[in-house]
Amino acid sequence: MESAVADLKDGRVPSALYWSIPQVADWIDDLGFPAYRECFTTNLIDGRRLIALEASAFPKIGITDFNHIKSISKSIRELLSLEEPDWKRSISFPPREDLGMFLERKMTKGASRDAMTYKKFLLDKNPKWRPPLANMCLILPHGSPAQSSQQAVDH
């Protein structure tokens, strides 16, 4: 719980991350969707689960109106201060923002995730992102023994 206190003091972390199930239900009610309150409570959607909730999962919890799904998804992004997804963005680019990566890690449960604060996340010495295939591709110079043996196998 110390991480929750530290994160709640940090203005960069949305308080919704630590909402209880009734708080999430109140929020959906305040959005103007009281009919979906039970969908959220029955499926035990708390703050962490709200972060992980993708639009494709809404029908599974009982929300099937497409316009409602779009509206609720947009409200979740606004609540968490996340930018609109850029579907044309190359996967080779670094991630958009630290907060988004922090929330992705925080949405799962476990002792290490529970203890992680945003400040600790930012100070983490481990690399947060590597380009796809980083250090996994070996480019051999033209005429190297390995390349010559591959050409012999191909012929």
pLDDT 10s digits, 94-139: 666 778 878 888 877 788 888 888 888 888 755 555 555 444 555 5
149 pLDDT band, cuts 50/70/90, is low
Q: Tell me: the pLDDT tens digits for 6-32?
A: 777 778 888 888 899 999 999 999 999
Burial code (b: 16+ CB inside 10 Å, e: under 16) for 5-31 equals: eebeeeeebbebbbbebeebbebbeee
Rounded Cα–Cα distance for residues 154 and 117 (Å):
54
Quick one: DSSP state of residue 82?
A: P
Under 8 Å between Cβ of 49 and 76: no
How far apart are alpha carbons 72 and 68 in whole angstroms?
6
Q: Which two tokens stand for residue 36?
A: 């979906």
- pTM score, two decimals? 0.67
CATH of domain 2-123: 1.10.150.50
**Residue type at 18 in one-letter notation:** Y
How far, in Å, are 35, 82, 130 from residue 107 at the CA level? Answer: 25, 14, 21
Please state the domain extents for the chain: 2-123
**Rounded average pLDDT over 44-72:** 93
